[in-house]
Structure 1
């Protein structure tokens, strides 16, 4: 087949444009193997960070204890993302419920976090310090309460942090598996910590929730009169068709026992119900 002069010119222009576009695209969608990969999961209204190589997970919520007079009011979190400098980092973005967007302007360009889909960005942080960002996709009434805080540290400090997190996780697992009967005071103290980290963003620290999407737990039939087995089932397996996620893979037996006890006795619920880690272990076995 012989191409006419006009066709050759058009083809030449197309190829010249494609060549330039390919170069630009290769800069935006970097394919160099990463040294560190983080899965960033947006949820109403918190961030979960999975450090893929080290099997570490962090849940990051708004720090609600900061006064309005402070510079970091609504801009700080309970758990920062810790990252090493001079390291090629890949971020994998997704969400559990609605559209979110993890955006730290000084580190990476904005990209949506979409339920059931993975988007990718990457960064190399050159300077140690604190970097702040915010969810950049309107995700509901709590959109303004999803700050992002990244602390960049030296590679040596990062390695020490990873070792510390692994040691803490091992100790927590051993504690949760121990043959111990926990007191009400112990369960309530531990349960409040777990609740504020995992549940408070949706059901609120007051237990009043944000109906209808996030029902109240204070004074509800679910937390005051339902069977404990049903309560455990919801926490472990979630509830399909709702925003209630499954926490069975993220919380150990002691944490689930404690938060169940807390929800059934906090805010004036006062059922007197206590749940022990052994009961959670049995509930997990029943699900298999």
Structure 2
């Protein structure tokens, strides 16, 4: 395993990347409760409110890593909501953007594919460990969230299971992941949940199923 550095509790999976010496406008919202996006060294603090889009801006003058945290008492995981902004040269930003555009094109191509059960389960396991395991347990045993192993959702109606993944459950800690995951990963993780931890339902969700569910 990787050694923990001094900022290991303030790391994120996807830092915000912006170019130096450039005025950058941020659009800020939330999909569950009120948060507050706060990066002190960049003089940015803006509430993120479900159903509203707030805006703010910054102009970073030095390349570096800028850290912040949610400044709103937003819920049980409030202490684990760090913010990381990487300020890079304009050349490095252009290279980063090109890489992200290539990744988006790859996902778009994957959207048109039909995957096997093994492919979905393998991808879904990785997605589950990254998004779901903290609340639902590495082995689907539950914890902060409900158990996946043997659950009525994961072994029940497939459409209802998919709807919960996409839209969440209002009034609970179950977020709406439809805007956080791409359709390929959503299809994979729902398939994984229905065929892991002894659930063995044998059914699959394809990316086009997720796309159609969102559209409908």
Check whether TM > 0.5: yes
Counterparts of 2:67 and 2:180, CA distance in 1: 26
Query: Per the alignment, do residues 167 and 127 of structure 1 end up closer, same or farther by CA in structure 2, a change over 3 Å counting?
Result: same
The 1:73–1:152 alpha-carbon spacing in structure 2 relative to 1, beyond 3 Å, is same
Q: Residues 286 and 86 (structure 1 numbering): CA distance in 2 closer, same or farther, change over 3 Å?
A: closer
**Quick one: distance in 1 between partners of 2:76 and 2:180?**
25
CA–CA separation in structure 1 for the residues paired with 2:203 and 2:138: 20
Please state if 1:284 is matched with 2:212. yes
The one of 176, 191, 216 equivalent to 2:124 is 191
Q: Does 1:273 align with 2:208?
A: no
1:188 CA drift (Å) = 2.2
How does 1:78-97 map onto structure 2 within 5 Å?
78-97=13-32
Match of 1:52 in 2: none
Alignment of 1:14-93 (within 5 A): 70-93=5-28
Q: Cα distance, 1:86 vs. partner?
A: 0.8
Shift of 1:278: 6.3
- Aligned CA-pair RMSD: 2.8
CA contact (8 A) 2:195 2:202 kept: yes
Q: Structure 1: state its 5+ residue gaps.
A: 1-64
* Alpha-carbon distance between aligned partners in 2 of 1:116 and 1:286, rounded to the nearest angstrom: 18
1:243-275 alpha-carbon deviations (Å, 9 max, x no partner): 544444554443222101221233x23415241
The verdict on how the C-alpha distance between 1:204 and 1:105 changes in structure 2, with shifts beyond 3 A counting, is farther
Which stretches of structure 1, 4 residues or more, deviate above 6 A after TM superposition?
none
SS of the aligned residue for 1:89 comes to strand
When the two structures are aligned, how many residues end up with a matched partner?
215
Is the 1:95–1:115 Cα contact (8 Å) retained in structure 2? yes
Match of 1:99 in 2: 34
Higher RCO by CA contacts (8 Å cutoff, separation 6 or greater): 2
Gapped regions of structure 2 (runs ≥ 5): none
Q: 2:168 touches 2:177 (CA, 8 Å); kept in 1? A: yes
For the 8 Å contact 2:111–2:208, the answer to whether it is kept is no
1 CA distance for matches of 2:54 and 2:139? 35
Structure-1-length-normalised TM-score? 0.64
Bigger-Rg structure (1/2): 1
